[in-house]
Structures are given as structure tokens and as C-alpha cells.
Amino acid sequence: MPLFDSLYNFAHWLTQNREEAEDLVQETYAKALQGFGSFQLGTNFRAWIFRILRNTFLTSRTGLAVTKTVPLEDEDDQGQTVPVSRETPESILLAQAGQQQVQAALERVPVMFREVLLLCDVEEMSYQEIADTLGVPIGTVMSRLYRARKALRAALEGKGQEAKHA
């Protein structure tokens, strides 16, 4: 199945639930097969199928519940960390704890920003592919990516919970 791992990964981040992510990917493939006649040869298949997954998510019960936008607070660029120069048991433990913090913070980022961040930084899509997937202009992709990174940074600094409830 083409792109299964990438689609599942994206679906899991969107739904934050393993079973719902599996259902979402299954439904995406079913819709892609059903609507394959609408796919234009020579265009970006990856963006096309990710768009089906995203649209399916947004029309699902989970997607509609979490698409509310929230205002972002200004942030200052303080609190940068210095990387460890060699691996030690302590540095490995800190890295694992850091990954958990990043995942928890990413879950607090609003979906419209999280999806752009995931498509860009995890799936390594180009701005054009993301724009095609989301059906928005490239400028919107860049704006959302900026805001997504800002929201993620705020969530990592502990401001994310306040921003979500503002």
C-alpha cells in the first residue's frame, strides 16, 4: 500500500488515538480507490491522498471537535538549551523525556497548525505539496507553519495550556 506508514503516522497525530487512526487510513484508502478516476495523472499523488485523509478527518467526529482556533500569545526567544556533546545514560534519559515533552506539547497545538507542522517537518513535504494537500495558498502554509512553531515553542515553555484556554 503506497504511503501507508506516512498516512498512518499523520492520522495518528491528528486523531491522537491508534484505533481512530487505523480507521481513518482505511477510510482514506477506500475513498481514494472509489475516487481514483478523479486523480489527474501527472499531478502529485502524495498530496492528493494526504488531502483525502485530511478531509476525511475534518468531516469525522474527532476532526470537527478539535478544529476550533485559538489566539496565540506573543513569545520571547529565551530558554535555549545547549546540546550534550556525547551520549551518556543521563543524556539518553533526557532525550527520551524531551521527546515525550515534545509529543505532549504537539498535542496541545491546534489541529490547523499541527497538520502543517507534521506535513513539513515529519513528512518532509514541500510548501507546494502542503498547499496542494490542504487546499490553501503557499503563503497560508508559511504563515501557519510560523504560527505552529510559535505555538509549539509556547507549549514547550508551559504557555501552551494557558493559550489553549484563552
DSSP 61: H
CATH classification of the domain holding 19? 1.10.1740.10
Say what the pLDDT of residue 155 is: 83
In terms of Cβ atoms closer than 10 Å to its own Cβ (0-12, 13-18, 19+), residue 52 is buried
With respect to residue 135, please indicate whether it lies within any of the assigned structural domains: yes
Say what the pLDDT of residue 140 is: 93
Examine the domain organization and report whether 159 and 105 are in the same domain: yes
Whether 77 shows a pLDDT value over 50: the answer reads no
Q: Residue 13 — very low, low, confident or very high, per pLDDT cuts 50/70/90?
A: confident
CATH classification of the domain holding 119? 1.10.10.10
Of 74-88, 92-106, 121-135, the least confident? 74-88
62-75 residue pLDDT tens: 555 444 444 444 44
Examine the domain organization and report whether 55 and 103 are in the same domain: no
Examine the domain organization and report whether 93 and 147 are in the same domain: yes
Model confidence, pTM: 0.53
H/E segment holding residue 98: helix 89-108
With respect to residue 15, please indicate whether it lies within any of the assigned structural domains: yes
Examine the domain organization and report whether 94 and 160 are in the same domain: yes
Q: Which domain holds residue 26?
A: 4-65
With respect to residue 70, please indicate whether it lies within any of the assigned structural domains: no
Instruction: From 5, 4, 10, select the one nearest 121 (Cα to Cα).
Output: 10
Whether 1 shows a pLDDT value over 60: the answer reads yes
* Residue 28: CA count within 13 A, CB half-sphere: 28
Q: Which residues of 113-135 are buried (b: 16+ CB within 10 A; e: fewer)?
A: bbbbbbbbeebebebebbbbbbe
Examine the domain organization and report whether 56 and 96 are in the same domain: no
Examine the domain organization and report whether 57 and 114 are in the same domain: no
102-148 residue pLDDT tens: 778 888 888 889 889 888 888 888 999 999 888 899 999 999 999 99
Examine the domain organization and report whether 49 and 109 are in the same domain: no
When comparing pLDDT for 72 and 158, which is higher? 158
21-54 residue pLDDT tens: 899 999 988 888 888 878 778 788 888 888 888 8
